[in-house]
Every structure is written in structure tokens, then in C-alpha cells.
RNA sequence: GGGGAGAUACCGAAGCGGUCAAACGGGGCAGACUGUAAAUCUGUUGGCUACGCCUUCGUAGGUUCGAAUCCUGCUCUCCCCA
């Protein structure tokens, strides 16, 4: 029996959760989340996780099942998501992957190359060197250790330089050796559904949603996490801006304004990414019926 | 009613006779993307039949070889005095 993974994605705020719920109900299946921040149990309001009622109605996976103290990453996500998806396929022919984290979705669909997990110590050393010696020093070393990558990478992107360096240093092999650019085989078919609407409308939704989050107590949530602000998981829209407010760098109003702006920008980045995906089938958020018909037609034809 | 200040591109704000399609900031738009990805980085922002052309600096005229920049009328905004 052919198995189908339905990818439901789109920009933040577009309505993936509710559409996903409707699809899960109709196809009598479960939802695997592909959201890099809803995966953390300490994060709630700011990540707009499905609420208790929703979670009670439809079984969700990879929601709030990790801690921000862990070193989570795409590769771990790929493995965990695939495990869950494959086990769900034992009882369902169709499983939903719902979320907006582009790279995470990509890892489930196409896989990510095998390479060692990064070593926090090496990263710290490199970061310190960046501070003390400047980016040139790191570039210089990268040029020596991995000239190929050095020639293709954006040399202003410190994160990428640091990652390439840490892998090259850890393994003694150029980072680019690990990049196979090959696509991993999956045992299931993939149908991609993208939700989008008029940009002005999306901005409106996002702005209102941020106001709702603030009313729901986002500030308290952030304040309780403030002492952990150095954690990568908290380098996230909705938290970092409030941390800046707590640090007296900006006003509360400014923080809220920035959360809105950064959410809008995040939405745009998501759309840039998804637009490039030829396999994406686009719908408006209220077209649940059309989406269901679309999926059923796709499945019937096979 | 009297006096003063000002109207610049999506917004804020420089410019104060040519080197101005107009600094700078914000916002927007576009793009890159392999273990930090809600991250990180890049480009762009009057129009076009695009190494050139066309229309822009409240509005209508005027001065000048040449105006966003000078002069005049008008409209609107703000401030002070009545």
C-alpha cells in the first residue's frame, strides 16, 4: 500500500495549525510538527503552539517534547521525524507534516548529509577568536582547511564560516567533503501543500497575532526565560526583542513593534524558500475543501 | 484677525542654483541557504522599449543657459500673539 506524507506549510500566522487539524480529521490521521521552536517545551505563547484543546482533538508529534537546554538540530529532527512518520505509516496510509521551518521540512523530504554534531567547546573557541582576532583570521583558516568551500561561501556570513571551520577542525577533513548534494530516498510519496494569501492581509494577521500574544502574557513568559537568554533556542523572534527590552536597550513598545517586524520578515523568508520549491501546490488558507479534493485526486491517480 | 515656521520619494528626514532620480534612517520588496535555520548573510527601493530616455521635491506661474534649491500668487499644516 502506497504511503503518503502530506507537507502542509506556509508563512507564520497563515493558519497551518487549523488547516492541519481539519486535514487530520478528514483523513483520520495524526500530525507531525515541523516547527523548530514549537519543539521546545519551555516555549508556549511566543511560538503559538497548538493549544490543549487542539492537542486533545488531534494527536500531534514533536510538539514541546524537547528542552531548550538540549542541543537540538536539523539532523536530529530528521531522524526523529522519520521514526515517527514511519511508525505512523503502520496504521495510516497518510500522515501530515505541519509546520513552517523550511530547513526541517527539507531534511524530512530530501535528507541532510551525515556529519558529526558540532562540539560546543570548539564553537566557543571559534567565537572567541572572532571577537579577538576578527573575521579575517577565521577566513584565512577556512581558506587553508577548505579552499573549495571558501570560494563558494558568503565570506561575511560568520555563522557559516564558523560551522565549516568547526567541522573541518573536528574531522580533519574539509567541510565541503561532507556535502554530497544528493537526495536521500524515502519510502513514501510526498505531496506538498503551501498556504499563502495576499501580503497585506498576511501582515495584518501577523501584527494582530503578536498583539494577542502580548495580551496572553508573552512578556511574563519571556521574563521567566530571561536568565537563559544565551541559549540558541531563545534566539527567536518574540523573545530576543523582549530580552532587549529587559536589558533596557529598547522600550516595551519598540520591542513589540520589532516582534511584529521580525515576524513579517520571517514570513517573507519562508515564502522565498517555498517559492523555489517546484513541488509546492499553493492554496489560500480557507480552501480546506479544495485541498482535500486535491490530495484525494493525487492519491487516486497513483 | 496679526506674526512666525513649514510642505521632499511608501514613511521620517537631509539638500538650499548646476556634480540630484535626490544623502541618511525606517518600512517594504527580492535573493542565498546542509547540525545556530523563528538563525545567519546579500541585494534592491520613481518609471521605462534601461551604458539612454521620461516624469518627480504641495500647487500655478516667473527669473535663469540651468531650479527641490531664488521670486510671486494660491492651497494646506504647525506654532506664537489676539
Place A194 in a pLDDT band, splitting at 50, 70 and 90.
very high
Q: Where on strand B do bases come within 7 A of a protein Cβ? A: 26-42
Stated pTM of the model: 0.92
User: What is the pLDDT, as a whole number, of residue A257?
Assistant: 93
CA of A259 to C1' of B9 (A): 27
Place A172 in a pLDDT band, splitting at 50, 70 and 90.
very high
CA of A270 to C1' of B20 (A): 38
CA of A272 to C1' of B75 (A): 45
**Mean pLDDT, residues A136-152:** 95
Task: Read off the pLDDT of residues A38-51 as tens digits, 9 standing for 90 and up.
Answer: 999 999 999 999 99
**At A94, phi and psi to the nearest 5?**
-135, 130
Which nucleotide is nearest to A78 if distance is taken from CA to C1'? B35
CA of A91 to C1' of B28 (A): 47
Which nucleotide is nearest to A158 if distance is taken from CA to C1'? B40
Which nucleotide is nearest to A266 if distance is taken from CA to C1'? B38
CA of A266 to C1' of B23 (A): 30
Which nucleotide is nearest to A272 if distance is taken from CA to C1'? B31
Q: Please check the confidence at residue A228 and state whether its pLDDT lies above 90.
A: yes
User: What is the pLDDT, as a whole number, of residue A300?
Assistant: 83
**Mean pLDDT, residues A64-91:** 97
Q: Which residue is nearest to nucleotide B36 (CA to C1')?
A: A232
Q: Which residue is nearest to nucleotide B32 (CA to C1')?
A: A154
CA of A155 to C1' of B4 (A): 55
Tell me which long-range contacts A255-263 makes (C-beta under 8 A, separation of at least 24).
A256/A210, A256/A211, A256/A214, A259/A210, A259/A213, A260/A206, A260/A207, A260/A210, A262/A237, A263/A12, A263/A13, A263/A206, A263/A209, A263/A210, A263/A237, A263/A238
Q: Please check the confidence at residue A1 and state whether its pLDDT lies above 90.
A: no
Helix (H, G, I), strand (E, B) or coil at A197: coil
Amino acid at each position: 500500500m502506497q504511503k503518503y506524507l502530506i507537507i502542509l506549510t506556509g508563512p507564520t500566522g497563515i493558519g497551518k495549525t487549523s488547516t492541519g487539524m481539519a486535514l487530520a480529521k478528514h483523513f483520520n490521521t495524526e500530525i507531525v510538527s515541523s516547527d523548530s521552536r514549537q519543539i521546545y517545551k519551555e516555549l508556549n505563547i511566543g511560538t503559538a503552539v497548538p493549544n490543549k484543546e487542539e492537542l486533545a482533538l488531534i494527536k500531534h508529534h514533536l510538539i514541546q517534547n524537547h528542552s531548550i537546554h538540549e542541543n537540538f538540530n536539523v539532523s536530529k529532527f530528521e531522524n526523529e521525524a522519520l521514526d515517527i512518520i514511519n511508525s505512523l505509516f503502520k496504521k495510516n496510509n497518510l500522515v501530515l507534516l505541519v509546520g513552517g521551518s523550511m530547513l526541517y521540512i527539507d531534511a524530512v523530504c530530501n535528507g541532510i548529509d551525515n556529519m558529526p554534531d558540532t562540539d560546543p567547546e570548539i564553537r566557543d573557541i571559534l567565537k572567541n577568536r572572532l571577537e579577538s582576532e576578527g573575521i579575517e583570521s577565521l577566513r584565512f583558516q577556512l581558506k587553508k582547511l577548505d579552499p573549495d568551500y571558501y570560494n563558494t561561501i558568503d565570506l561575511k556570513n560568520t555563522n557559516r564560516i564558523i560551522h565549516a571551520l568547526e567541522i573541518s577542525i573536528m574531522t580533519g577533513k574539509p567541510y565541503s567533503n561532507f556535502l554530497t548534494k544528493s537526495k536521500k530516498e524515502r519510502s513514501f510519496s510526498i505531496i506538498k501543500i503551501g498556504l499563502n494569501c495576499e501580503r497585506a492581509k498576511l501582515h495584518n494577521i501577523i501584527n494582530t497575532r503578536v498583539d494577542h500574544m502580548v495580551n496572553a502574557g508573552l512578556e511574563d513568559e519571556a521574563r521567566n526565560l530571561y536568565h537563559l537568554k544565551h541559549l540558541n533556542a531563545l534566539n527567536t523572534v518574540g523573545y530576543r526583542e523582549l530580552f532587549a527590552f529587559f536589558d533596557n536597550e529598547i522600550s516595551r513598545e519598540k520591542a513589540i513593534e520589532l516582534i511584529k517586524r521580525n515576524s513579517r520578515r520571517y514570513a517573507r523568508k519562508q515564502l522565498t524558500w517555498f517559492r523555489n520549491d517546484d513541488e509546492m501546490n499553493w492554496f489560500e488558507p480557507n480552501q480546506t475543501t479544495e485541498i482535500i479534493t486535491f490530495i484525494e485526486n493525487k492519491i487516486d491517480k497513483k
